[in-house]
């Protein structure tokens, strides 16, 4: 089945008594009982399928996890309470029986960098940052440090660089390291990293998959080798997503392919318009033929899908000028997220990368005049019109 069909049907319509609900219900129970204790004992021991305690799993979560594993062509999935919880638990699963060292892209979401610095490093897990788009540098870092995990984003936040997942997976595998990919920006519509050799994939469900600004959640999708480790960690620590959020995410995923195609189409038009404006110094967008990773993009991304994220720099602007521009926006929502049906804009130095030291941000290429733009499903003319009036 094609991904559009999987999004509509996977995970749903499990038999409940004599009937089959057309969509998965919201199961709010925290505990489950059986007619005989022997049955409950076997469920606890995982000898037979069933539910016992919501920290372990529940029918609503299980349906969402089946859906996400299907979309990513993975072995199993774990729905988590946030995208960052998914990142943290995926890193723990990757490192559990491996050397406590991470080779990570030097261009990552700010909170991911903070997790490496503030949680893993104090626990004795070293992190080596490298230009993930420089394969020679990646190979050298892996050979030098022999890491337990390699961490990257499919499309980097916020400068939209694209590393060669297939090649990096081969380097990781040769060193015995697990490759963990945050694929939030790309979604399973564009790239399915497990098919390219990754071991674990994470998404912020809050973004394109749920897509309506009403869910906080994340997911880990794993290969067979890491599925049991992820589930065991979850059963102990309970980072699980609530049943209401799981239900809303499943409902959002049903229309996700339609929304994402429209968002990608709009983003192409908006990026072309931005590139023609004298008030815009530089536009970052994967469909740009002069993109530094154009060869990888052409090989990996589907035709006509380059993502719906655009970053751009306002010519000669500082923080105050950027704020003035954003304050004049009327249609585009000034909020800290992305992937919603409505267009959204944020200022990375203030939000997504706020906790990164200014000098480190500068080294990452995140300048004071940079804004990040998540293009929605509105009419593209209206989006451009709002940008135009705000730039006057």
Radius of gyration of the chain from its Cα atoms, rounded to whole angstroms? 21
**Which structure tokens are listed for 339?**
């992937």
Residue 12 near residue 57, CB atoms below 8 Å: no
**Is 97 marked active-site?**
no
Q: Among residues 62, 161, 207, 372, which one is catalytic? A: 207
Distances (CA, A) of 263 to 96, 154, 231, 297, 363: 38, 18, 34, 18, 30
* Residue 376, phi then psi, degrees to nearest 5: -95, -160
Whole-number Å distance between alpha carbons of 98 and 94: 7
**Is 109 marked active-site?**
yes
Residue 19 DSSP code: B
**Which structure tokens are listed for 100?**
């406590």
Q: Among residues 12, 53, 55, 354, which one is catalytic? A: 55
* Residue 305, phi then psi, degrees to nearest 5: -125, 105
**Is 182 marked active-site?**
yes
Closest CA to 244 of 14, 8, 28: 28
Whole-number Å distance between alpha carbons of 240 and 335: 26
Residue 30 near residue 60, CB atoms below 8 Å: no
**Which structure tokens are listed for 182?**
């945050």
Residue 338 near residue 344, CB atoms below 8 Å: yes
Tell me if residue 34 falls in helix, strand or coil. Answer: coil
**Which structure tokens are listed for 112?**
């991911």
* Residue 312, phi then psi, degrees to nearest 5: -150, 155
**Strand pairing partners for 310?**
373
Q: Among residues 27, 56, 109, 347, which one is catalytic? A: 109
Name the E strands within 125-222. Answer: 126-130, 149-153, 178-182, 200-204, 218-222
**Is 55 marked active-site?**
yes
Tell me if residue 334 falls in helix, strand or coil. Answer: strand
**Which structure tokens are listed for 216?**
């906080």
Which alpha helices (DSSP H) does 73-223 contain, by range? 83-95, 110-115, 135-145, 165-175, 187-190
Whole-number Å distance between alpha carbons of 153 and 128: 15
Closest CA to 54 of 238, 312, 269, 260: 238
Q: Among residues 182, 223, 293, 386, which one is catalytic? A: 182
Catalytic sites, residue numbers: 55, 109, 182, 207
């Amino acid at each position: 089945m094609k991904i559009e069909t999987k999004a509509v049907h996977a995970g749903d319509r499990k038999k409940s008594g004599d009937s089959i609900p057309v969509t998965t219900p919201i199961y709010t129970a925290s505990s489950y009982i059986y007619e005989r204790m022997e049955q409950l004992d076997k469920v606890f021991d995982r000898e037979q399928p069933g539910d016992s305690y919501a920290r372990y799993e529940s029918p609503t979560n299980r349906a969402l996890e089946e859906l996400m594993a299907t979309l990513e062509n993975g072995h199993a999935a774990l729905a988590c309470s946030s995208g960052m919880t998914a990142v943290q638990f995926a890193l723990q699963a990757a490192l559990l029986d491996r050397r406590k060292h991470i080779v990570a892209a030097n261009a990552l979401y700010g909170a991911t960098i903070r997790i490496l610095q503030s949680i893993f490093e104090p626990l004795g897990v070293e992190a080596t940052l490298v230009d993930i788009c420089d394969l020679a540098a990646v190979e050298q870092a892996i050979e030098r440090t022999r890491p337990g995990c390699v961490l990257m984003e499919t499309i980097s936040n916020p400068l939209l660089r694209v590393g060669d997942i297939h090649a990096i997976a081969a380097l990781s595998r040769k060193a015995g390291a697990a490759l963990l990919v945050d694929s939030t920006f790309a979604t399973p519509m564009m790239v399915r990293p497990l098919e390219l050799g990754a071991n674990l994939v994470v998404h912020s469900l809050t973004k394109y998959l749920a897509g309506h600004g009403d869910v906080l959640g994340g997911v880990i999708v794993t290969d067979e080798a890491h599925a049991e480790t992820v589930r065991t960690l979850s059963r102990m620590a309970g980072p699980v997503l609530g049943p209401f959020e799981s239900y809303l995410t499943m409902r959002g995923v049903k229309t996700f392919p339609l929304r994402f195609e429209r968002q990608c189409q709009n983003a192409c038009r908006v990026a072309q318009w931005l590139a023609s404006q004298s008030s815009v110094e530089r536009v970052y967008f994967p469909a740009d033929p002069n993109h530094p990773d154009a060869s990888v993009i052409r090989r990996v991304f589907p035709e006509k899908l380059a993502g719906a994220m655009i970053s751009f720099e306002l010519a000669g602007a500082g923080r105050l000028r950027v704020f003035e521009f954003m304050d004049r926006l009327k249609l585009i929502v000034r909020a800290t997220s992305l992937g919603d049906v409505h267009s959204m804009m944020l200022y990375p130095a203030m939000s997504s990368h706020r906790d990164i030291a200014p000098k480190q941000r500068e080294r990452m290429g995140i300048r004071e005049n940079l804004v990040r733009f998540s293009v929605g499903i509105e009419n593209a003319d209206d989006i451009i019109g709002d940008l135009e009036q705000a730039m006057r």
